[in-house]
Amino acid sequence: MLISAVEAFAMTDEGQGSVAATSGLARRLCALALLAASGGLLASACASNESSLFIRMRMAPTEDCTVACGPGEEFMTEDSVDAAFNLSHSATLLVGNQIVQRGDSDVLRTETSRVQLYEAEVRVADLAGNPVTEGYVVPITGLVDPGTGDDPGYNCTQVLLIDGATMDSLGRRSAELGRRDIEVVATVVVRGRTLGGQEVETAEWSYPVRVCFDCSPCVTHPENCCTGSTEKVCQELDEIERTCSGRRGPIDCRDLGTTCEDYKARRL
């Protein structure tokens, strides 16, 4: 009876896809434990609950391109990237933790509900849902405290929304279409582990990104200045205001280490 029940459970869990691979395995192991053990003591530890951990938003950089992390800070609803000058694209995401606090100093019980983030799974698709490239898993970091009362705990983590291969593919397509924007959606699942050893993951979170090729102004100074000359004339050149990640703006050839045209030619 135990074997047939486990087989039936495995059959119903097929077709989950790579995004749910980790949680699917956990559910199978939990099913075995629950079938073999009496009572429901293991149920809470094995439950798959995508509301415990969640992605709230993409944080907006400040004027100096740093990020303030918190639910009351500025956020962005769309990114724009020029593939001619960006090898890949990352964004800072705000992650919330709704697991209740369990620590109690009165009885010397440590807090086990903090979540250590360790990886994100990303898929990039066009607006019709067709995959642009295969999905990928990237390491991340961050420790998210449990909430207090009805308020979740929050922390930020940086996630690679568009990897190098995907950026190259989108950039070539934009160049073929005369620098037209290519609109895609990056779908992210963030995974973590509580200090008590419980695996948790977020529901899928989707975010739009516009990718173009050579749609940003690039300022080429005298070539020797672009390649790092320390001559006085190069040092006296006006500084160009830097553009933060996720926004398009002027590019300075001094940041590229070569002229704008040479750099773009290497990207195609």
Q: What is the pLDDT of residue 148?
A: 85
Considering the domain architecture, whether residues 74 and 108 belong to the same structural domain is answered as yes
Residue 93 shares a structural domain with residue 170: yes
Residues 153 and 97 sit within 8 Å (Cβ to Cβ): yes
Q: Which of 171, 192, 212 is the last residue of a domain?
A: 212
> What domain range includes position 236?
218-267
Res 72: pLDDT: 95
Residue 241's pLDDT is 85
In terms of phi and psi (left: phi > 0; alpha: psi -120 to 50; beta: otherwise), the region of 20 is alpha
Contacts of 188 by beta carbon, 8 Å cutoff, 6+ apart: 55, 93, 120, 121, 122, 159, 161, 202, 204, 205, 206, 207
pLDDT in tens, 154-213: 999 999 999 999 999 999 999 999 999 999 999 999 999 999 899 999 999 999 999 999
> Do 112 and 234 fall into the same domain?
no
pLDDT score at 102: 60
Is the same domain home to 21 and 63?
no
Q: Same domain for 192 and 255?
A: no
pLDDT at 49: 61
Q: Indicate whether 224 and 100 sit together in one domain.
A: no
Length of the chain equals: 268
**Which pLDDT score, from 0 to 100, does residue 250 have?**
94
CB 65 within 8 A of CB 242: yes
Residue-level pLDDT at 110: 64
Task: Tell me: do 90 and 201 sit in the same domain.
Answer: yes
25-29, 233-237, 252-256, range with the lowest pLDDT: 25-29
Residues 195 and 132 occupy one common structural domain:
yes
- CB neighbourhood size of 74 (10 A): 11
* 113 in the same domain as 93: yes
Q: Report the C-alpha gap between 11 and 6 in whole angstroms.
A: 9
Q: Do 242 and 257 fall into the same domain?
A: yes
Give the side-chain half-sphere CA count within 13 A for 43: 5
pLDDT tens digits, residue range 112-160?
A: 899 999 999 999 999 999 999 889 999 999 999 998 888 999 999 999 9
Residue with tokens 């951990």: 53
Provide the domain count of the chain: 3
Same domain, 208 and 245: no
